[in-house]
Chain A
Amino acid sequence: MKKHVLLKKIPGYVVIIISSLIMITPFVTAVFNSLKTYTQYTAVPPKWIPDPVMWSNYAEVWKLTDFSQYTVNSLIVSVLSVIGSILSSSMIAYAFARLRFPFKNTLFMMVLGTMMIPPVVTIIPQFIIFKNLGMLDTLMPLWVIEWLGQPFGIFLMRQAFLSIPKSYEEAAKLDGCNPFQIYWKIFLPMCKPALATLAVFTFMGKWNEILAPVIYLTSQENFTLPIGILSLGGQWFGNEQFLVAAALMSLIPILLIFLVAEKYFVQGANNSGIK
């Protein structure tokens, strides 16, 4: 019987082992490529193992470019977006989940409606708004809207707040807390997993974003990592091993966050699939 069960699992193992290899091999190859000289990088047929190992490629990226500036810019955008979205989305979501107020349903329909409007329709007027506000070629347009609440975040946090028993806020009301205090002191600390989910997703989205930085940023020193590295392409034509090293370095922070917060990533993905 046991042998039979094991045998049945073999096709599953074969599928996921092959698939995992397909997923990972290009990354491993890229790591090796980032440690090669250009001659070896372009060798035909390709040689897998770098010889000599050019650790200096990584140092060159920092030395020869604005890489540190791109990193700082990416951090500013991502961190400010995370703070803005967890503060505003949770506050708005709390009101939708627990308070009774006029136009509540209409307002919530607006939130849902926003999720259905493709961002492409609003890109150009949004660009004009930020132009009129004098924010072109600054990092502001990349994070400022997050402070006005994001539909996904509002939705996610509302679900979390709805699951808290009513007795908590009744007890707090008796203690003389106003709705904001109940939200801030009781509800927010109780929903840390949902907040973490939102934070992880916002950070990843902003760290990897390309469309908005491409549209809003024009000066090299304002570039975020993804477009900063792309802009180095011309400069390093014929030295692509540097670009591979730069790209891999830009992946490290997101990889670290992912390793720490993997369960929130899974949770968030599931929430975006099942509503």
Chain B
Amino acid sequence: MPRNPVEANTGHRLTAKKRFLDQEGRWGLLLTSPYLIHFLVFVLGTLLTSLYFSLSNYDMLNPPEWVGLKNYDRLVHDPVFWKALWNTLYFVILFVPTQTFLALILAVALNQKLKGLKLFRMAHFVPVISSWTVILYVTDAVFNPRFGMANTLLTQLGLDPQKWLQDEVLVIPILVLIAVWKGVGYIMLIFLAGLQNVPQDLYEAAELDGAGVIKRFRYITLPMISGSTFLVLILSTISTFQAFEQIYVMTGGAADATAAGGPNNASLVLMLYLYREGFSFLHMGYASAIAWVLFVILFVLTWIQVRLQKRWVHYE
């Protein structure tokens, strides 16, 4: 047994390794240092500053003046804030389930071996990769109150033409419709990835047992992709709560920021209200308070969803 040489050898390697570890440690810290700066300045720093602003009056010209909870108190009594909160909720409640449901149907349809699949899939990505400005002018052909296709169709059916995005009642449903049209292709893709992980023999076994299409969908597909569904719901709820670009672009924010939010604030969502207060009226303190309320809502929502997840998400 050549014990000694081995021991000597191991000992030598250990010290070499230790020295390398020091070097490795230095390199590790050096290579990750950009993110440390990112975190300290743009995440932690901004979070603390934002919290401080929300407790101050700040117009960017004079130094912030501490006012305690006054901004939050004002928020609670501000009818425009409540309207914006309601509009946001209304948007999320209409949008998230519709998009998720349609994306799932499309994914199931696209998951079969069909001819021309790639082309069909690409068709669904064109709205996804378009900016909201492009979407604005593309959908104008449909929803323009003067000469859009939607009104032409209505008049041909003998119905009254509508003002669509300029209509207080219709503005949010139409925005949701357009948002679903734009986003459904992307969510479909996430479901498609989930579907491709479902073992095919499960379906074959169920088919042999005489389970029909609907039963197979209900008892195999849905539980097997519940992980993807959960992620889609969480991610799209969080991002929809922060919706800004679509509403800014499509309801007049571009022309006049102070007027953003559609007729009678009918499509004023929280992000737009934040933008308007902060960047149009320079009420940075008040806008920061709106941001924190939004943050807390998102935090609570995520927490609830994670708790509920245990009840219905199936993990292998």
Contact = CB atoms under 8 A, between A and B. Distances in A.
B59 to A, nearest CB: 12
Interface string A199-233: 00000100111110011000000000111011101
Interface stretch (A24-32, A51-59, A60-68, A188-196): A24-32
A12 B39 contact: no
What is the interface residue range for chain B against chain A? 35 or more
Interface in A74-130: 88, 91-92, 94-96, 99-104, 107, 110-111, 113-114, 116-129
Nearest to A183: B31
Judged by DSSP, the binding face of A is helix
A154 B34 CA distance: 12
Nearest to B110: A16
Contacts of A24: 123, 126
Interface residues of A, number: 100
A1 interface: no
B147 interface: yes
B47 A117 contact: yes
Contact of B132 (A149, A208, A255): A208
A44 B50 contact: no
Given A210-B249, A251-B134, A119 B42 contact: no
B35 A26 contact: no
Interface stretch (B72-80, B162-170, B187-195): B187-195
A23 interface: yes
B133 A124 contact: no
A200 to B, nearest CB: 10
Contacts of B25: 99-102
Nearest to B292: A121
Judged by DSSP, the binding face of B is helix
Interface in B11-56: 20-21, 23-29, 31-32, 34-39, 41-43, 45-47, 49-50, 53
A9 interface: yes
Contacts of A229: 133, 137
A247 B24 contact: no
A269 B129 CA distance: 12
Most buried by A among B42, B105, B241: B42
A16 B24 contact: no
27 contacts: A9-B114, A12-B108, A15-B105, A20-B120, A24-B126, A26-B139, A26-B141, A29-B141, A45-B152, A100-B24, A101-B25, A110-B35, A120-B274, A121-B291, A125-B47, A145-B38, A148-B35, A154-B35, A179-B31, A180-B31, A225-B131, A226-B132, A229-B137, A248-B134, A250-B131, A251-B129, A251-B134
